[in-house]
Amino acid sequence: MAAGAEHGLKRIVWQRIKDTLIADCRKSEVWKILILDQFTTRLLSSCCKMSNLMSEGITIVEDLHKNREPVPEMKAIYFMRPTAMCVDAFINDFKPKPKYKAAYVFFTDYCPDDLFDKMKKNCAKHIKVCKEINISFLPLEAQVFTCENTEAFKSIYTPNSQDKDQTLETIANQIVTLCSTLDEYPGVRYKKDSALDYGNKLAELVDNKLARHYELDDHSKKKGKTQAQLLIVDRALDPVSPILHELTFQAMAYDLIPIKDNNYEYKLKDGSKKEALLNEEDELWVKLRHMHIAEVTGFLLIGLLVSFKKYTTVQKFGVSSAHKGCMYLIKNTDLAVGADAEGQKVKDPMRTLLPVLLHPHDTTDKIRAVLLYIFSLNGTTAENLNKLIQHVKIEDESGYILNWKHLGVPILSTPSMFSFRKQPRKDRSDKETYNVSRWTPVIKDIMEDAVENKLEVKDWPYQSECPSVWNGSRAVSARQKHKGSSPDDLRSGSRLILFVLGGVSYSEMRCAYEVTHANKSCEVIIGSTHILTPRGLLEDIYNLDK
pLDDT tens per residue, range 517-528: 998 889 999 999
Which residues, other chains included, contact 320 with Cβ-Cβ below 8 Å and sequence gap of 6+? none
Among the listed residues 136, 44, 140, the one whose alpha carbon sits nearest the alpha carbon of residue 504: 140
Phi first, then psi, for residue 343 (nearest 5°) are 90, 5
pLDDT band at residue 295, thresholds of 50, 70 and 90?
Answer: confident
Cis peptide before 96 (omega within 30 of 0): yes
3-state secondary structure of 263: strand
Write out pLDDT tens, residues 15-26. Answer: 999 988 888 777
137 or 345: whose pLDDT is higher? Answer: 137
pLDDT at 323 over 80: no
d(CA 407, CA 166): 18
pLDDT band at residue 325, thresholds of 50, 70 and 90?
Answer: low
In this prediction the pTM is: 0.89
Q: What percent of the chain is predicted at pLDDT more than 70?
A: 84
Spatial contact of 458 and 187, defined as CB atoms under 8 Å apart = no
| pLDDT value for 318 | 62
Q: Which amino acid is located at 509 in the chain?
A: M
**Greatest Cα pair distance in the chain:** 76
Write out pLDDT tens, residues 63-111. Answer: 999 999 999 998 899 999 999 999 999 999 998 899 999 999 999 998 9
* Cβ-based burial of 47 (10 A; exposed 0-12, middle 13-18, buried ≥19): buried
Spatial contact of 145 and 527, defined as CB atoms under 8 Å apart = yes
| pLDDT value for 479 | 35
Instruction: Please enumerate, as own/partner, the contacts of 61-69 that have beta carbons within 8 Å and a separation of 24 or more.
Output: 61/33, 61/34, 61/35, 61/36, 62/33, 62/34, 62/35, 62/36, 63/35, 63/36, 63/37, 64/35, 64/36, 64/37, 64/89, 64/90, 65/37, 65/38, 65/89, 68/35, 68/93, 68/99
Which residues, other chains included, contact 263 with Cβ-Cβ below 8 Å and sequence gap of 6+? 275, 276, 277, 278
Write out pLDDT tens, residues 30-61. Answer: 668 999 999 999 999 999 888 888 888 888 89
| pLDDT value for 480 | 36
User: Would you say how long the chain is, in residues?
Assistant: 546
3-state secondary structure of 346: coil
Among the listed residues 138, 166, 124, the one whose alpha carbon sits nearest the alpha carbon of residue 81: 138
| pLDDT value for 482 | 34
Mean predicted lDDT score pLDDT of the chain: 85
C-beta atoms surrounding 105 within 10 Å? 26
Mean pLDDT of 265-293: 84
Spatial contact of 438 and 425, defined as CB atoms under 8 Å apart = no
Q: Which amino acid is located at 519 in the chain?
A: N
d(CA 26, CA 536): 43
| pLDDT value for 478 | 34
Which residues, other chains included, contact 370 with Cβ-Cβ below 8 Å and sequence gap of 6+? 353, 357, 388, 392, 401
Phi first, then psi, for residue 196 (nearest 5°) are -100, -15
pLDDT at 173 over 60: yes
Write out pLDDT tens, residues 526-543. Answer: 999 999 999 999 999 999
pLDDT band at residue 10, thresholds of 50, 70 and 90?
Answer: very high
Considering only 221-235, 266-280, 377-391, 508-522, which range has the smallest mean pLDDT?
266-280
pLDDT at 174 over 80: yes
Structural domains of the chain in order of their starting residue, each with its CATH number: 9-135 (3.40.50.2060), 139-237+441-468+491-543 (3.40.50.1910), 249-407 (1.25.40.60)
